[in-house]
Amino acid sequence: MRLSDFIVQHVDRIIDEWEQFARTLAPEAKTMTRSDLRDHAKSILLAAARDMRTSQSPGEQAAKAKGAGPEKSPSLDAAAASHGELRHNVGFDLVQMTSEFRHLRACVIRLWVASLIAPNLEHLQDMIRFNEAIDEALAESTAAYAEQVSRSRDIFLAILGHDLRAPLQAVSMSTDLLARKVALDADAQAFVSRIKSGTRHMGAMVNDLLEFVRSRLGNGLPIDPAPMDLSSAAKAAMDEACAGQPDCTPMLSVEGDSHGIWDRGRIEQMLQNLIGNALQHGSDRRTVTVTITGGVEQVLLTIHNYGAPIPREALGTLFDPLVRSADEELGNNSTSLGLGLFIVREVVVAHQGSIEVSSSESDGTTFTVTLPRVSRA
């Protein structure tokens, strides 16, 4: 009997073995219903049988082995993906979920081979096709499981970031009240200043975390464009970046019209990250320069600083999330989560703009942002 026919005729027997094995995998499985344990097993098996009955050329088989063929079975993929999602939701880990497919493969082949009287070349081809189908189902199920893990992590980070805002605000407000109501000596004033600086840094980190999670859970950062002046936003961002740093002296240069239709909150967020990054990594002896150049249809923004250049090998991943520079990895008084430049890129992309960076020992580091004068949400 051909393997596809064997699967269809004995699908209930195979699923019984699937259920028995699944019940041994995790403590949660012992209290699961038969329906939950059997889950999409029947759909996966019957879809695999249908896939095995379709004709397949050597070229199509080679493409399928690489996961690149258009001949993937939609019903098989859908059933396997749903299985991965549900196994994650009931508490199976990834190893337990993938072991189900290992057992399913072994079970089907063992039962089928035992039923054969005189195996031939067609049976070998059937086994190849079956393994292809199970591999496809395993890949889809694993991808769906991983996506659920990622989403759960992002939701947890969003809740964590949101809940951290309240205690941070309480610390900040209490510090302000203390400074106004109590006469403090020089040492106490210094302590209060450090607390305010620390809460400001922590607030920036929490905001970065929330923006990162928001971009992953949705389709990018939402924006609300309105008429604004980029030079005014740059001045405000420079003041914010220099708060508590008396030696901070960035320079702003504006040429042409700096007005446009942008989301001011997002633009200030971008500027604060870029200017703060330049101040953090720039040389203490050289000024950070912010330049705005207004064109006919777009506005060019550059932030330049001198200092240690960005390594060439790091430029390709500079805007990736949770990537930190070498000195931050070594714990050089960093308050970064490695999200600042990721958020900068997300803000620029949300405004249909572009961002580039160049860095060398002689010329310093320059971030160049190009914004269309009119951005649409």
Collapsed DSSP state (helix, strand, coil) of residue 283 = coil
Give the tokens for residue 124.
Answer: 């070998």
Distance CA 77, CA 42 (A): 13
pLDDT, averaged across the chain: 84
State residue 228's pLDDT score.
96
What pTM, to 2 d.p., does this model score? 0.53
Average pLDDT over residues 253-280: 92
Q: Which residues contact 365 (CB under 8 A, 6 or more apart)?
A: 278, 281, 282, 304, 305, 306, 307, 309, 310, 357, 358, 359
* Token pair 């464009």 in the structure block, residue: 225
- Distance CA(332)–CA(365), nearest Å, equals 20
Which tops the pLDDT comparison, 69 or 233? 233
pLDDT score recorded for residue 12: 92
Does 187 or 339 have the greater pLDDT score? 187
Return the SS3 of 221.
Answer: coil
Contact 345, 277 (CB under 8 A): no
Q: How far apart are CA 76 and CA 133, in angstroms?
A: 8
Is-contact 303 371, C-beta < 8 A? no
What is the three-class DSSP state of 71? Answer: coil
Write the burial class of residue 317 (CB in 10 Å: 0-12 exposed, 13-18 middle, 19+ buried): exposed
Q: Higher model confidence: residue 67 or residue 123?
A: 123
| pLDDT at residue 235 is higher than 90 | yes
Question: Do 341 and 318 form a contact (C-beta atoms < 8 A)?
Answer: yes
Average pLDDT over residues 310-316: 87
Domains of the chain: 3-153 (1.10.490), 226-372 (3.30.565.10)
Concatenated DSSP letters for 164-183? Answer: HHHHHHHHHHHHHHHHHHS-
Query: CB 95: neighbour CB atoms within 10 A?
Result: 8
Candidates 332, 242, 330, 232; CA nearest to 281 is: 332
pLDDT at residue 219, rounded to an integer: 56
| Residue 229 scores a pLDDT above 90 | yes
% residues pLDDT > 90 (the chain): 31
Maximum pairwise Cα distance, the chain: 97
Q: Which residues, including other chains, have CB under 8 Å from residue 120's CB and lie 6 or more apart?
A: none
At 68 the pLDDT is 60
Task: Give the list of residues 6+ apart from residue 95 with CB closer than 8 angstroms, or none.
Answer: none
What is the C-alpha to C-alpha distance for residues 322 and 339, in angstroms, rounded to an integer? 6
pLDDT tens for each residue of 193-212: 888 888 888 887 887 777 77
Average pLDDT over residues 343-356: 92
70 pLDDT exceeds 80?
no
Task: List, in order, residues 6 or more apart from 327 with CB less than 8 Å away.
Answer: 281, 334
In the structure encoding, which two tokens stand for residue 271, read together? 């500027």
Give pLDDT tens digits for 149-178.
Answer: 877 777 677 667 766 776 887 888 888 888
DSSP state at residue 54: S
**What is the per-residue pLDDT for 373?**
94
Rounded Cα distance, 322 and 336, in Å: 9
Task: Give dist(CA 335, CA 83) in Å, integer.
Answer: 41
Pairing of strands 289-294, 298-305: antiparallel
* Amino acid letter, 109: I
Q: Indicate the pLDDT class of residue 39, thresholds 50, 70 and 90.
A: confident
pLDDT in tens, 243-252: 656 677 889 9
SS3 299: strand
pLDDT band at residue 242 using 50, 70 and 90 as cut-offs: confident
Residues sharing a CB contact under 8 Å with residue 346, sequence separation 6 or more, in sequence order: 211, 215, 220, 221
Q: Which of 229, 221, 259 is nearest to 348 (CA)?
A: 221
Pairing of strands 251-255, 289-294: parallel
Q: Which residue has the higher pLDDT, 68 or 373?
A: 373
Q: How confident is the model at residue 330 (pLDDT cuts 50, 70, 90)?
A: very low
pLDDT at residue 236 greater than cutoff 70: yes
Residue 8 clears pLDDT 90, i.e. is over it: yes
pLDDT at 224: 87
pLDDT per position as a tens digit, 287-309: 899 999 999 999 999 999 998 89
pLDDT in the model for residue 328: 47
Average pLDDT on 98-108 reads 92
pLDDT at res. 211 = 75
| pLDDT-based confidence at residue 325 (cuts at 50, 70, 90) | low
Q: What is the pLDDT of residue 159?
A: 63
